[in-house]
């Protein structure tokens, strides 16, 4: 890296860093600057709201081809571009007039003004079973993202200026990389966490999982779930030591967020165990020995997960569950440790005991400030105190993990529990946590919780004291941010079938509107204490990505297309139903 590159990066980031710090000190106000939406949620607070966005339409025509089959923009569309892959799970991010999107096998960089493809990484579609699920983050002239295989990448935002071309397209240039498999990370589907930039450090979840579908490997329970890097050099500088991996339901898929509380920064992280954590940020003075390894031991009994045959007889399932509960109780009596929970997912992982250990890099551990279990007690156990059991992960009343990103807003954190939407609906819980407190909280110590929501993987949007949250069944809930009072709920139904579709995306609040992308289309609702549908758009293919708003442009991404939507005066051909 040349000194000129370094100078340009620091000059370009100084003003943004000052304004982001000011926003966080003001209580987590999410400032989406007029020309920037540089990371998941726009700012480190991760609030999915763009208060500075201009006028945005309630409808657009997603038509993408003319009679000759050539790509063309429809009504209220400035341009439309192809992503060149089969799926898009990440959301667009924007900085310095450039859009970065993670498609099925590539990171793509487009020009915001005209939609031209500037560069892609890698030069050919990556050989991954799942596509990019980590929404990139941009700071200065650098793009940070985790590829589907768990390799943390730092790319040059201006890669086309390097002049390296392949098959007519410029190649994205890698400045540094770090393979998280060195930490013992075991992935399920794909690495999913979106990087969080705070000063000179970048935080990201490892997406360590209990089960690897590809090779059925037993997971690594002591592998960290949250790590931090020096964003300039790519050096690993810190990790968590909460041993979340020993309590995973499926995977640590959440992304970190942050806020300034009483003048001090807190890093928030939703665990794959259904617990929300807050950590102190990296201590720049702490010594780092990344080339040395230290031994980490299990400090408690590990939760046990077993996969049973779906075709097994009910009486055999009950007998197996009873036998494992008895086994765990015996282990607890001999070790003096409390009984672990029994879940059903993944290969037969070892029970876990006091002699389980792993070798991890000798880097400082992130200091925990507080933790809150976001599952009500009745989700964890029945009326008799017996842990709730679930076979094949598909139980509507089982405890939830945290896949959504915790949102910081006015000294509070908001986050919902959920599970992989492909496993069907189930009961959820949205919690509001007072982050000015310290220590281990119990589930009864949150400010309020809302159990009227179903399972959710969506990050909430907060504006004007109202929380907008979407569950996996595509029902939008509007709550009072201070009290949790429900004002309304709106099911986003398919006009043809009358059914709701899965919602993998998060809501976005901009221009007095709530934009909600479901698998089959985009719904536009009015903000406020009364539910009102303003418009909806049927997309030509599935949509799993959250839209973003920059100035007067709404960026909507389906599995195969990216639209730059703007208000050109066009209205829907018929009233929204």
User: 131-154: per-residue pLDDT in tens?
Assistant: 899 999 999 999 999 999 999 999
362 beta partners:
289
216 or 544, which is more confident? Answer: 544
What pLDDT score does 211 carry? 62
Q: Identify whether 575 is part of a domain.
A: no
For residue 250, what is the domain's CATH number?
2.130.10.10
User: CA-CA distances (angstroms) from residue 96 to 35, 93, 387?
Assistant: 7, 11, 51
E-strand stretches of 157-230:
165-166, 169-171, 174-179, 196-198, 201-205, 226-230
What pLDDT score does 297 carry? 84
What pLDDT score does 505 carry? 95
User: CA-CA distances (angstroms) from residue 227 to 57, 129, 261, 404?
Assistant: 40, 24, 21, 18
Residue owning tokens 């045959």: 309
What pLDDT score does 101 carry? 96
397 or 471, which is more confident? Answer: 471
Q: How many domains does the chain have?
A: 1
Q: List the Cα angle 547/550/552 in 5-degree steps.
A: 105
What pLDDT score does 325 carry? 62
Q: Identify whether 78 is part of a domain.
A: yes
End-to-end CA distance of the chain: 55
Q: Identify whether 459 is part of a domain.
A: yes
Tens of pLDDT, residues 443-478? 667 999 999 999 999 999 999 999 999 999 999 999
Q: Identify whether 419 is part of a domain.
A: yes
Q: Identify whether 547 is part of a domain.
A: no
In angstroms, rounded to a whole number, what is the distance separating the alpha carbons of residues 510 and 492?
18
Does residue 556 carry a pLDDT above 60? yes
462 beta partners:
467
Q: Identify whether 551 is part of a domain.
A: no
Range of the domain at 508: 3-534+556-565
In angstroms, rounded to a whole number, what is the distance separating the alpha carbons of residues 189 and 61?
33
Q: Identify whether 542 is part of a domain.
A: no
Is residue 314 very low, low, confident or very high in pLDDT (cuts 50, 70, 90)? low
510 beta partners:
50, 513
Does residue 17 carry a pLDDT above 50? no
Q: Identify whether 74 is part of a domain.
A: yes
């Amino acid at each position: 890296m040349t000194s000129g590159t370094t100078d340009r990066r620091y000059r370009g980031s100084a003003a943004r860093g000052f304004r982001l710090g000011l926003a966080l000190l003001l209580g987590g106000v999410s400032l989406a600057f007029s020309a920037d939406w540089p990371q998941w949620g726009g700012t480190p607070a991760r609030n999915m709201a763009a208060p500075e966005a201009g006028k945005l339409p309630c409808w657009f025509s997603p038509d993408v081809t003319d009679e000759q089959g050539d790509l063309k923009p429809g009504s209220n569309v400035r341009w439309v571009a192809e992503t060149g892959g089969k799926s898009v799970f990440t959301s667009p991010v924007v900085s310095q007039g450039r859009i970065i999107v993670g498609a099925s096998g590539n990171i793509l960089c487009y020009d915001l003004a005209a939609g031209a493809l500037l560069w892609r990484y890698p030069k050919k579609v990556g050989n991954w079973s799942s596509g990019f699920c980590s929404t990139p983050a941009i700071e200065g002239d650098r793009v940070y993202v985790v590829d589907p295989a768990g390799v943390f990448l730092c790319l040059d935002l201006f890669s086309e200026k390097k002049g390296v071309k392949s098959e007519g397209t410029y190649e994205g240039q890698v400045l540094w990389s770090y393979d998280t498999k060195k930490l013992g990370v075991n992935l399920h589907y794909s690495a999913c966490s979106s990087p969080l930039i705070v000063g000179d450090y970048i935080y990201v979840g490892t997406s360590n999982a209990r089960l690897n579908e590809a090779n059925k490997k037993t997971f690594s329970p002591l592998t960290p779930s949250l790590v931090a890097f020096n964003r300039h050099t790519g050096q690993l500088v810190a990790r968590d030591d909460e041993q979340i991996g020993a309590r995973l339901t499926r995977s640590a898929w959440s992304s970190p967020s942050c806020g300034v509380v009483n003048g001090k920064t807190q890093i928030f992280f939703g665990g794959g165990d259904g617990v929300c954590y807050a950590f102190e940020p990296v201590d720049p003075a702490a010594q780092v020995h990344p080339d040395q390894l230290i031994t980490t031991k299990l400090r408690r009994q590990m939760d046990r997960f077993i996969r049973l045959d779906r075709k097994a007889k009910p009486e055999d399932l009950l007998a197996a569950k009873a036998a494992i509960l008895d086994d765990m109780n015996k282990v607890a009596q001999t070790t003096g440790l409390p009984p672990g929970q029994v879940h059903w997912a993944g290969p037969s992982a070892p029970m876990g005991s006091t002699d389980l250990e792993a070798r991890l890099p000798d880097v400082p551990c992130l200091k925990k400030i507080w933790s809150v279990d976001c599952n009500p007690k009745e989700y964890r156990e029945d009326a008799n105190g017996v842990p709730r059991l679930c076979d094949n992960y598909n139980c509507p009343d089982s405890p939830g993990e945290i896949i959504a990103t915790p949102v910081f807003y006015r000294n509070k954190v908001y986050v919902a529990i959920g599970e992989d939407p492909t496993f069907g609906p189930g009961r959820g819980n949205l919690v509001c946590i007072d982050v000015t407190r310290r220590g281990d909280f119990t589930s009864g110590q949150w400010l309020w919780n809302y159990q009227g929501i179903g399972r959710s993987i969506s990050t909430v949007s907060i504006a004007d004291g109202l929380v907008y949250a979407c569950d996996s069944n595509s029902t939008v809930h509007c709550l009072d941010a201070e009290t949790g009072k429900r004002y309304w709920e709106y099911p986003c139904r398919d006009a043809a079938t009358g059914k709701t579709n899965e919602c993998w995306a998060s809501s976005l609040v901009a221009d007095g509107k709530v934009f909600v992308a479901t698998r089959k289309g985009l719904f536009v609702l009015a903000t406020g204490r009364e539910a009102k549908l303003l418009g909806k758009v049927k997309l030509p293919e599935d949509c799993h990505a959250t839209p973003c708003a920059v100035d007067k442009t709404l960026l909507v991404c389906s599995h195969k297309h990216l639209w730059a939507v703007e208000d050109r005066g066009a209205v829907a051909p018929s009233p929204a139903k």
